[in-house]
């Protein structure tokens, strides 16, 4: 099977070296993975190509790369599935992380984010029987997050990290969820408060779904972040812009049947938070100049009573 690889090459340590693409046309077995193809290039065609790999079995997470613009484990991705005979595959290093050379990135940022959530047990007392016991039910609940192999694919494609490197990130927050849900840990409330209050914490996720789409182990980091938000609210952490945003959204749709975007922005900032309100002024001016400013008086849905009925039914079931 003939395949064409378009590989992004770069060597930040070489003076004058600029990122560029290099193409390789090679003949591979129809069942070959992208990693097989890259190793063939390195071993038989161009020994200067740098890439990272280890287990070749979707266990170690070492071979995360961007293929055709999306993060993947190249050891589990077959060439034929993405590029039938003769079509081109574009391979790049993972995003949101510093490139060491070619397809190899440093994971320093990734593990610094993990450290921020203190990913270890913090019990208040010694176990009574020599070890801490967890029920089968609790471990089954944790299994999804524990499947994470720390590959960094979710971090690579996170749209928030592209513009805000202070965001803790989907992998670290999924790891944080794993410890808030573990019955052997006694710092659940403190963890939730920290994640709720911290700049770059659980409320900075924009729910773009990219981390869910690219995760090779179905950890679904965004779902874990949403559960952390619910848990933080239930634990009484409500004096944040994130909770105010959620509350405003809920009340606005309940009242009008549609979202009141002007009210949402002001409620999220906080009516008494002068600095945050001032931050909205430049955005509001730009929106007004572009004709994108939301109406001061919100549009109301024609069938808003039906929407209110849904709210009342759900609220009644909760009670």
pTM strictly above 0.85: yes
22-31, 236-245, 261-270 — most confident range = 22-31
Q: Are the C-beta atoms of residues 114 and 104 closer than 8 Å to each other? A: no
Beta bridge partners of 51: none
For residue 261, name the pLDDT band (cuts at 50, 70, 90).
Answer: confident
Q: What is the pLDDT of residue 55?
A: 95
Q: Are the C-beta atoms of residues 94 and 8 closer than 8 Å to each other? A: no
Long-range contacts of 47-53 (CB under 8 A, 24+ apart): 49/7, 49/9, 49/102, 49/103, 50/100, 50/101, 50/102, 50/103, 50/104, 51/102, 51/103, 51/104, 52/103, 52/104
- Cβ burial of 84 (10 Å; 0-12, 13-18, 19+) is exposed
Q: What is the pLDDT of residue 97?
A: 95
Q: What is the pLDDT of residue 154?
A: 97
The pLDDT tens digits of the residues spanning 274-319 come to 887 888 888 888 888 888 888 878 888 888 888 989 998 888 887 7
List, by residue range, all CATH 1.10.1060.10 domains of the chain: 108-234
Higher pLDDT, 98 or 295: 98
Looking at the predicted structure, is the pLDDT value of residue 16 above 80?
A: no
**CA proximity to 179, closest of 145, 215, 128:** 145
Q: What is the pLDDT of residue 267?
A: 87
Q: Does 3.20.20.140 match the CATH number of domain 108-234?
A: no
What is the pLDDT averaged over residues 143-150?
95
Q: What is the pLDDT of residue 287?
A: 84
Q: Are the C-beta atoms of residues 37 and 90 closer than 8 Å to each other? A: no
The pLDDT tens digits of the residues spanning 169-187 come to 999 999 999 999 999 999 9
In the chain, what percentage of residues exceed pLDDT 70?
A: 100
Q: What is the pLDDT of residue 72?
A: 97
The pLDDT tens digits of the residues spanning 199-223 come to 899 999 999 999 999 999 999 999 9
Q: Does 3.30.70.330 match the CATH number of domain 2-105?
A: no
SS (H, E, C) the chain: CEEEEEEEECCCCCCCCCCEEEEEEEECCCCCEHHHHHHHHHHHHCCCCCCCCCCCCCCCCCCEEEECCEEEECCCCEHHHHCCCCCEEEEECCCCCCEEECCEECCHHHHHHHHHCCCCCCCCCCCCCCCCCCCHHHHHHHHHHHCCCCCCHHHHCCCCCCCCCCCCCHHHHHHHHHHHCCCCCCCHHHHHHHHHHCCCCHHHCCCCCHHHHHCCCCCCHHHHHHHHHHHHHHCCCCCCHHHHHHHHHHHHHHHHCCCCHHHHHHHHHCCCCHHHHHHHHHHHHHHHHCCCCCCCCCCCCCCHHHHHHHHHHHHHHHC
The pLDDT tens digits of the residues spanning 235-256 come to 999 888 888 888 998 999 998 8
List, by residue range, all CATH 3.10.20.30 domains of the chain: 2-105
In the chain, what percentage of residues exceed pLDDT 90?
A: 68
Q: What is the pLDDT of residue 273?
A: 81
Q: What is the pLDDT of residue 17?
A: 79
């Amino acid at each position: 099977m003939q395949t064409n690889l378009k590989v992004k090459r770069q060597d930040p340590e070489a003076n004058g070296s600029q990122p560029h693409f290099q193409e390789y046309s090679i003949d591979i077995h129809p069942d070959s993975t992208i990693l097989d193809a890259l190793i063939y290039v390195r071993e038989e065609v161009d020994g200067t190509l740098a890439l990272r790999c280890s287990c070749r079995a979707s266990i170690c997470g070492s071979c995360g790369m961007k293929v055709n613009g999306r993060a993947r484990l190249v050891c589990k991705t077959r060439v034929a599935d993405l590029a039938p005979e003769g079509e081109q595959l574009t391979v790049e290093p993972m995003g949101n992380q510093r490139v060491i050379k070619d397809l190899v990135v440093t994971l320093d940022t990734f593990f610094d984010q993990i450290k921020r959530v203190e990913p270890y047990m913090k019990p208040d007392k010694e176990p009574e029987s020599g070890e801490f016991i967890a029920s089968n039910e609790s471990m089954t609940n944790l299994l999804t997050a524990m499947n994470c192999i720390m590959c960094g694919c979710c971090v690579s494609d996170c749209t928030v990290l592209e513009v805000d490197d202070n965001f803790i990130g989907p992998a670290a927050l999924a790891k944080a969820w794993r410890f808030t849900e573990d019955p052997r840990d006694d710092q659940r409330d403190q963890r939730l408060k920290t994640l709720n209050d911290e700049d770059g914490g659980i409320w900075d996720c924009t729910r773009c779904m990219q981390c869910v789409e690219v995760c090779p182990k179905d950890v679904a980091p965004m779902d874990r972040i949403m559960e952390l938000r619910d848990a933080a609210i239930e634990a009484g952490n409500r004096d944040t812009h994130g909770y105010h945003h959620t509350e405003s959204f809920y009340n606005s749709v309940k009242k009008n049947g549609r979202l009141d975007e002007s009210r949402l922005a002001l409620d999220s900032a906080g009516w008494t938070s002068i600095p945050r309100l001032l931050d909205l002024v430049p955005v509001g001016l730009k929106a007004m100049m572009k004709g994108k400013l939301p109406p001061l008086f919100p549009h109301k849905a024609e069938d808003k009573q039906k929407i209110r009925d849904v709210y009342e039914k759900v609220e009644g079931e909760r009670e």
